[in-house]
A and B are shown apart, each in its own frame.
Chain A
Amino acid sequence: MSQYACEWRNVTVRFGKRTVLHTVTLGVRCGELVGLFGHNGAGKSTLLRTLLGLIPVQNGQVLVEGTPVGARQMSQIRRRIGYVPQVLNTDPRVPLTALDVVMTGLYAGIGIGRFPSRQNRESAQDALRKMQVLHLARQPFGVLSGGEQQRVLLARAIASAPRLLLMDEPTSSVDWQFVHELIWLIRQVHESGSLSTIVVSHDAPFLARLCDRVVLMESGRVLGEVSAEGLLDYLGRGWV
């Protein structure tokens, strides 16, 4: 078994003529909690999405626990990953409750043609409880506030007990109080399982307090990495 939870080897991604990732090489070791920091358009979301096989890679190789992404077992790889997307493409009237949304994170694992068990429902409720939105379980997802929706999506990502947790801007619409709680919650979830976690964020103090190390990205390149304290120092020296 690979010592890396996931790995990019000389990965290049192009959209048409534009190169969005330039020969990125990066590894996240099992059990690590890594932050990904960079300007808008730096390629952070794209980098995460290559792990899920949502974006074709022109060059290089992406591996999840040693298995190359794009191989036949894609659905198995995906089931091991919990993913909180940056944006959703969902109608506000979408006919799902918060609990339904969390359940969708378990469906692939349950398998086609089988019905969710009581146990599945309990893990979904557990996840909602962890994110402190269990009282919203029966509310239609579309009428929840932005922050509430984000918490439900976080619950969805952890409900299936993934081995790799990917969060794209988890703090973009939660209040400052929940940002503090989130640091504690993510740490707790991260440490309670043999989980590897990647968090993309613009919020440097959040990343600095949360992560073991922070990878800096700019214009589709990995600039390097800094320790948590290093990130704030680095910013002090005139990032932006």
Chain B
Amino acid sequence: MTWLSLWSEPFMARALLATALSAVACACVGVLVVTMRLSFIGVCISHAAFAGALIGLHFGVSPLGSSMVASLLAAGVLGPLADRGNLSPDTAIGVVFSASIALAFLLLALLPGPKAEALSWLWGNVLTVSRENLWALAGVATAVVVLMAVFFKEIQAVIFDRELAAASGIPATAVFYAVLAFSGVTIAASLSAIGGLLVFSMVVNPAATAYQLTYSLRQLFLLSALLAVLAGWIGLALSALFNLPAGAMIVLVSTAMLLVAIVFSPKRRWSTATDGGKDV
């Protein structure tokens, strides 16, 4: 099979679609996670989702479903902890993070037979995404895009300052928890394509890249979605060309984009010029 004929294969079309859907959903959620400074919560949720998938495999239920439940649970635990001032969120996140990794490894060890399927949830494989999972991705991506458009105002106000948003009559707490829940669902739906180890960079890299380039929230959403799809497809092409793992290539391409954006960021120059005395 030549490299070109590969692209006409149905599994490749499906991989391109899965990559694009997951890229758009992750990028939109990523904008929220990055601008609300919840990155570590994202890391935690993605590992909880991985542990959840293994629980599903272990007990013979759908890994997609169980990873959704696990990531929602993690979001539900971390939300109130990050919310309250009395316990440092860093500590809470560290505890949940290592607990879910430990649980995942324990389940991995307990799983009978070959571990290939279990490990595929760790690395992900965009070429073998199931039909069920593709539908889930389509649903999640649509829901995320629609919600961002409908609640754009409220999201913008909460990003600016959550308490001030609440004080003006916006349901800021509901927006905050919806963001956490959607991070969880998006990460879980992307897990089988991208893998538990890498999905977090799908969430954060495009948004962080776009964040270097614009001060407009609308552009931030559009640009991150665009960059994410671009990174996804370039990564996929490179992986097909050189026969390398797709998830890894996608993440490396988006990391390269981020590095380029940081080097050429107009914001960086701006901030070094004006933020001299300010604590950044």
Report the interface size for chain B: residues with CB under 8 A from the other chain. 34
Taking a contact as CB atoms closer than 8 A, the residue among B154, B168, B217, B271 that contacts A92 in the complex is B271
Q: How does the 8 Å CB contact mask read for B212-244 relative to A, with 1 for contact and 0 for none?
A: 001111001000000000000000000000000
**B139 within 8 A of partner (CB):** no
In the complex, the answer to whether A104 meets B168 with C-beta atoms within 8 Å is yes
In the complex, the answer to whether B156 meets A96 with C-beta atoms within 8 Å is yes
- Name the segment of B44-52, B95-103, B157-165, B194-202 touching the other chain: B157-165
Residues of A within 8 A of B248 (CB): none
In the complex, the answer to whether A104 meets B167 with C-beta atoms within 8 Å is no
> What's the least CB distance linking A210 to chain B, in Å?
23
**A85 within 8 A of partner (CB):** yes
Instruction: Tell me whether A107 and B167 are in contact in the complex, defined as CB-CB below 8 angstroms, given that A94-B160, A95-B35, A140-B215 are known contacts.
Output: no
Cα distance, A116 to B152, chains bound together (Å): 11
Residues of A within 8 A of B275 (CB): 92, 143
CB closest chain-A residue, reference B172: A108
In the complex, the answer to whether A94 meets B164 with C-beta atoms within 8 Å is no
Residues of B within 8 A of A79 (CB): 168-169
In the complex, the answer to whether B167 meets A96 with C-beta atoms within 8 Å is no
**A78 within 8 A of partner (CB):** yes
CB closest chain-B residue, reference A77: B169
- Name the prevailing secondary structure of the B interface residues: helix
Residues of A within 8 A of B168 (CB): 78-79, 83, 104-105, 107-108, 160
**A175 within 8 A of partner (CB):** no
**B270 within 8 A of partner (CB):** yes
Cα distance, A143 to B211, chains bound together (Å): 15
In the complex, the answer to whether A104 meets B165 with C-beta atoms within 8 Å is yes
- Mark out the residues of chain B between 28 and 44 whose CB falls within 8 Å of any chain A CB in the assembled complex: 35, 37
- Mark out the residues of chain A between 85 and 119 whose CB falls within 8 Å of any chain B CB in the assembled complex: 85, 88-97, 100-101, 103-105, 107-110, 112-113, 115-116
**A36 within 8 A of partner (CB):** no
In the complex, the answer to whether B169 meets A94 with C-beta atoms within 8 Å is no
In the complex, the answer to whether B164 meets A85 with C-beta atoms within 8 Å is yes
Instruction: Tell me whether A95 and B216 are in contact in the complex, defined as CB-CB below 8 angstroms, given that A78-B168, A100-B156 are known contacts.
Output: yes
Taking a contact as CB atoms closer than 8 A, the residue among A85, A93, A107 that contacts B267 in the complex is A93
- Mark out the residues of chain B between 78 and 100 whose CB falls within 8 Å of any chain A CB in the assembled complex: none
CB closest chain-B residue, reference A160: B168
Residues of B within 8 A of A105 (CB): 168
> What's the least CB distance linking A11 to chain B, in Å?
18
In the complex, the answer to whether B160 meets A101 with C-beta atoms within 8 Å is yes
> What's the least CB distance linking B195 to chain A, in Å?
29
**B274 within 8 A of partner (CB):** yes
- Mark out the residues of chain B between 172 and 226 whose CB falls within 8 Å of any chain A CB in the assembled complex: 211, 214-217, 220
**A76 within 8 A of partner (CB):** yes
**A199 within 8 A of partner (CB):** no
Cα distance, A109 to B171, chains bound together (Å): 12
CB closest chain-B residue, reference A104: B157
In the complex, the answer to whether B160 meets A96 with C-beta atoms within 8 Å is yes
In the complex, the answer to whether B217 meets A78 with C-beta atoms within 8 Å is no
| Residue picked from A81, A96, A104, most chain B C-beta under 10 Å | A104
| Residue picked from B162, B167, B216, B278, most chain A C-beta under 10 Å | B167
CB closest chain-B residue, reference A166: B167
In the complex, the answer to whether B164 meets A88 with C-beta atoms within 8 Å is yes
**A75 within 8 A of partner (CB):** yes
**B108 within 8 A of partner (CB):** no
Residues of B within 8 A of A110 (CB): 153
> What's the least CB distance linking B269 to chain A, in Å?
12
**A52 within 8 A of partner (CB):** yes
Q: Which 8 A-B pairs give the minimum distances between C-beta atoms?
A: A108-B169, A78-B169, A140-B215, A104-B157, A75-B169, A79-B169, A107-B153, A95-B217
List chain A positions with a Cβ less than 8 A from chain B.
52, 54, 74-79, 81, 83, 85, 88-97, 100-101, 103-105, 107-110, 112-113, 115-116, 140-143, 160
Q: Pull 20 A–B residue pairs with CB atoms less than 8 Å apart, ordered by A.
A: A54-B163, A77-B169, A78-B168, A79-B169, A85-B167, A92-B271, A93-B267, A94-B159, A94-B160, A95-B216, A95-B217, A97-B216, A104-B164, A104-B165, A104-B168, A108-B170, A112-B150, A112-B153, A141-B160, A160-B168
